[in-house]
Structures are given as C-alpha cells and as structure tokens.
Amino acid sequence: MSTPAVHPDTPPVPAAESVSSLASSAAEILVLHTADEQGMCTHCRAAYALLVPHPCSQRGWASRVDRRVVTRQTLDVLGIAA
C-alpha cells in the first residue's frame, strides 16, 4: 500500500491566472455595482431583484480585491510571474 506524496514544507503556489481572473472579476463588479439616485445598488436590483444599499457586499469585496491586485510587480513580488 502506497501513501500519497505529501510535502508539508512546500506550500502550494497560487497560479498567476487565478490572480488575474480574480482581478478581472473584481473589475467587472466595480463597473456594474454602482449607486442609483436613491443610493441603492443598480446591479443587485437588476440582476438579483435585491434592494441593497450601495456599496453592496459584492462591491465591498471587489474594492478590497482591487486595491491589492494586480500588476506585473505584484506577481513578481508573490513569485508567481508567468
């Protein structure tokens, strides 16, 4: 019976594509989830029929992601430059 190879000393390396796609998802959310004249989120109302005050939770998430990501330098610093 063989055991799977486990290397606890080497943490998994995130793929550069994952970081980029996360950033582009966040960028889309920042564009879509904007406030209407009443201060509610336009996209949450249009897409999900939810009346949510702006910034909604998705917008909040996207703005946090957007601040950290993503330049070539970020990928270099993280050691995952393609």
Q: Which of 81, 82, 79 is nearest to 10 (CA)?
A: 79
Do residues 63 and 2 touch, judged by C-beta distance below 8 A?
A: no
Number of residues forming the site for Zn ion (CB under 5 A): 6
62 binds Zn ion (CB under 5 A): no
33 binds Zn ion (CB under 5 A): yes
44 binds Zn ion (CB under 5 A): yes
Nearer to Zn ion, 54 or 75 (CB): 54
Tokens representing residue 23 in the block: 């950033």
Footprint of Zn ion (CB under 5 A): 33, 41, 43-44, 56, 58
